[in-house]
Structure formats: structure tokens, C-alpha cells
Amino acid sequence: MREPHTDTTLAINIRQYCVADAIHTWALFFHTIRHVNIRDYSHEQVMAWAPDDFDLSVWQQKMDKIAPFIAEINGVIVGYADLQADGYIDHFFCHHQYQGVGVGKALMQHIFMQGQLAGIMRFYSDVSLTAKHFYQHFGFEVDKQQEVLIHDEKLINFRMIKVV
């Protein structure tokens, strides 16, 4: 396992998703939830959110549908995020070993740029407790607190909105 990165001068490349990225985004999603979101959610909630026995074909279909932007550093996938035509950000995850080096910032700026090109005036997302402050930093405001049920576990998240 790689050591966490602390160099804040890493060159982050944002590119389009390809089908082969799905397995890598699953690993990133899984480990980020297990290592980062565990700070704000219980062990049981994290295990329900990122289960050991998830069907990867379901994940492949999800990633193919949302077609996220992929963030890379030196060819390593370090984050991914999507932007849907209505301004919805369904997934936004940064690799647990690349937290705090600008991956999230680069992805959010890319989302805003793509949104501007597409004429999107309202961005919104269902945001975890862990990501709430990050989204607020980029001008999102809490619309409402929500309770979601994932594999019999209740998790709190927030519908957050940014109007440009």
C-alpha cells in the first residue's frame, strides 16, 4: 500500500471516463469510505455503504451511466466525479491516500467549467457528513438534511445546492 501523499505540487490531470476505469473507481470508492468516511459514520454504516461483497457488474453499469471525470496523478486514478445534465453531482470521491493535495479542488473546478459550457446554472448533490464542509467551501448551501437507508443502515446526508 502506498503512503499518503503530502506533496501539494502534484500535477492533476482530469480526463473522460472509459469503461476500464470502473474497477478502479470501485476500489477508490470502497477504500475512501472505509478509511475517510469512517470518521463520521459508524462501522456498521460504512460496511453497508461499501460492502465486501458488492456486485461489480452493478458498479460497472452505474459508472458507464454516469460517466464520471477521472482525476489522475502520474497515471494513478486519485479521484472521480460526475456532472449530470440537470446539474446533479451523483458521485464525488477522492482517493484516501491523496486527501488534501488538490484532487477535490481540481475536480470541482472541472465540474464548474463543464457546467458553464453546458449552461448549467444550478448544481446539487447529496453530500455525506464527511464532504459537507468541502462543498460549503465551494459555495454550496444545505437545502435539507436527509436520512437514507443503505442495506438496513440509516445514514445522514445533506442535499446541497449551488446556484451560479
Write the pLDDT tens digit of every residue in 41-65.
Answer: 999 999 999 999 999 999 999 999 9
Could you give the C-alpha distances from 149 to 78, 122, 135, 152, in angstroms and in order?
Answer: 28, 26, 22, 6
Region 54-80 average pLDDT: 97
pLDDT at residue 10, rounded to an integer: 79
Distance of CA 67 to the CA centre of its chain: 13
pLDDT of residue 1: 45
Nearest-CA neighbor of 108 among 81, 127, 136, 131?
Answer: 81
Q: Is pLDDT of 110 > 60?
A: yes
> Confidence band (pLDDT; 50, 70, 90) for 150?
very high
Q: For 3-17, 65-79, 129-143, which range has the lowest pLDDT when averaged over its residues? A: 3-17
The answer to whether 108 touches 81, Cβ cutoff 8 Å, is: yes
